[in-house]
């Protein structure tokens, strides 16, 4: 006859699942878990597997002041694109690292943080967290190669239009490996 044994790992796992299921504690717990996962640095796509953007001209974004940005103007630049929302726990978890990266690279990398939320909601969120990055709303649909199925979704694109990083989920964007990739892309001709 076999005896059921509850190991410590089983108990921890059950408690973990219960915390994720309980609605009133769900978001803080998820943010905590995502912050732990966001410590992971995203990896670079191998050169031979990189996909080149085929269409820059059809995507338009609108900034917080209502000014239209044509994605065509991103050609020839290193671009960091992040699709996110203020209600999204993984997005919340990675925002501090994105803001730090923006602070250091805003002069040499084009940052396009795209959300479909109301301007007031995003502005309040940025003010509450003391974030300095600009944000955009999509005026129309992104190019097919940049259409996110979930958020956060982040892309780093080189000056030639190749997608160098493509990461779904939270990540540490302020890592030394991401900085090394950006430094290399900035210096490339």
Predicted confidence (pLDDT) per residue in 100-151, tens digit: 999 999 999 999 999 999 999 999 999 999 999 999 999 899 998 998 889 9
Q: Does the pLDDT value for residue 95 go beyond 80?
A: yes
Q: Does the pLDDT value for residue 20 go beyond 60?
A: no
- The answer to pTM > 0.85 is no
Enumerate residues 6+ apart whose C-beta is below 8 A from 112.
Answer: 61, 69, 74, 79, 80, 81, 82, 136
Cα separation, 127 vs 60, whole angstroms: 25
């Amino acid at each position: 006859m076999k005896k059921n044994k509850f190991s410590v790992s089983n108990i921890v796992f059950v408690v973990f699942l219960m915390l994720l299921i309980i609605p009133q504690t769900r978001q803080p717990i998820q943010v905590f878990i995502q912050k732990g996962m966001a410590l992971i640095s995203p990896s670079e796509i191998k050169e031979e597997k990189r996909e080149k953007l085929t269409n820059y001209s059809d995507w338009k974004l609108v900034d917080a002041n209502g000014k239209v940005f044509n994605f065509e103007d991103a050609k020839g630049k290193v671009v960091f694109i992040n699709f996110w929302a203020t209600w999204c726990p993984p997005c919340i978890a990675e925002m501090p690292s994105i803001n730090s990266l923006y602070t250091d690279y805003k002069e040499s990398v084009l940052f396009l943080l795209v959300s479909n939320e109301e301007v007031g909601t995003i502005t309040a969120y940025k003010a509450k967290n003391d974030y300095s990055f600009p944000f955009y709303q999509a005026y129309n649909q992104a190019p097919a190669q940049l259409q996110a199925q979930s958020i956060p979704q982040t892309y780093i694109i080189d000056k030639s239009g190749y997608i160098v990083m493509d990461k779904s989920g939270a990540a540490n964007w302020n890592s030394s490996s991401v900085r090394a990739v950006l430094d290399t892309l900035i210096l490339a001709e």
